[in-house]
Structure 1
Amino acid sequence: MQRVEWVRRVVIGVMFVVAATVPDAVAQTSVPRVEVGGLVSALALAEAPDTSVGVGGRLTVNLTRWLGLEGEYQFVPDDEFTLSSVQADGRTAGLRYERRRSTALFGVKAGYRGDRIGLFARVRPGVTSLTDRGVDCLGDVCALLLLAVPEYRPEFALDIGGVVELYPSSRWLVRADLGVLRVWHRGSAPPCGSACATSSFGSSIGVGVRF
């Protein structure tokens, strides 16, 4: 919870700084000041064969031609985590944890911006939260009677990756992201029985409007 509170305070402080500095910084460049867009995301979960698909939105405030601050929210309605194994007698035992995932990120995007293409790196701390939707049996053996109820909490997350942007016109952009989402888990739920950290590969593609 201390990490979550720290992130919240940093975000509020940065927003005040942006509000005070962005008009002068952007006025010195030809880049649009604000970008608003939607996206479709995919997250290949760590320690499991599952890939979760979600939707989201993004707001970017450009400080200069090469530097911007952005906030992003993603919602995954069906975030499944599967555990399975083959028993000594050849039978398969497994469980599927069904969840919803919400992730909010805020950070920096920096790199090269041309007239038709942009290449950037991004670093965005934030919070990810899972909501339990139940557990299902998989295979021939079911261990539900011995299963503890998952306990999920809001977790500190750090997103690091790269961005490719295409500018078909002065108003529109197409954006593709690749990166790694690092999550520090505290809850008693997969993929951790206790505190641990995981890294999952994420990607997204979306479109946006520039103002």
Structure 2
Amino acid sequence: MRNCPKCGHPVEDDTTKCPNCGQILAVTKAPVTSVVPPKPHRWLPWVVGIVLILLIGGLGVQMSRQHRNAKPQVTQTTKTKAKHSSKTSQASANKASTNQALANKLDGNDTAAAILYYGATKLNNQDFKNGLKTTQNVKALNVTVQKITSNQHLDHAGQGIIYTLTPGKTASPLRYTLDQDQKVNFYVVKDNNQYNYLGSVAWHDLVTTINQQQGGNTVRQIGKFVKVQENK
């Protein structure tokens, strides 16, 4: 607010003409005040950098501790697996070393035992399985040797002789014949004296299969129980 220089009437600062006397007035400009922006804090980047370094360092220490704690567990698990594998391998090696393979040529007792074992394990015939189990329980296997008669209709008569495997004293359906070319023919006798042919195997293949199954010791053990009887 100011006064008119002519009449002294109060007028506004931005008024160009006195409303009282009409005097032309000059406009008074307000002084311009310059605003200076505040200077940034030079220490702020250093503080941020130090905080980041501390955070990264703390995270690295924590990860290192977790790694050290987990490492013994992994090592222990690896040692346990290796120990178990070693025991399994040792057990297999011991079993293989204690089993004695069969020779291709066996005596009569071991021959009957090998045929019984093969029929139970390889042919997977239930009658031969039962015969093997009974033989091992009662520790007795009787082998009856007799000539094939005309009423015995066999697919493979072999050398004209049929062998009956009888575990203990019970009646048994287990039969076999031998061909000239060392082939074994397996039979089981069912109702009405019917001879059911199960299959044939070359003697060499029979022995090889038993050795692959590591059954040599079992066959020899059964062979100790065999008694051969000839029926003429």
TM-score bracket relative to the smaller structure? under 0.3
Which is helix-richer, 1 or 2? 2
Which is strand-richer, 1 or 2? 1
* TM-score of the superposed pair, with normalisation by structure 2: 0.23
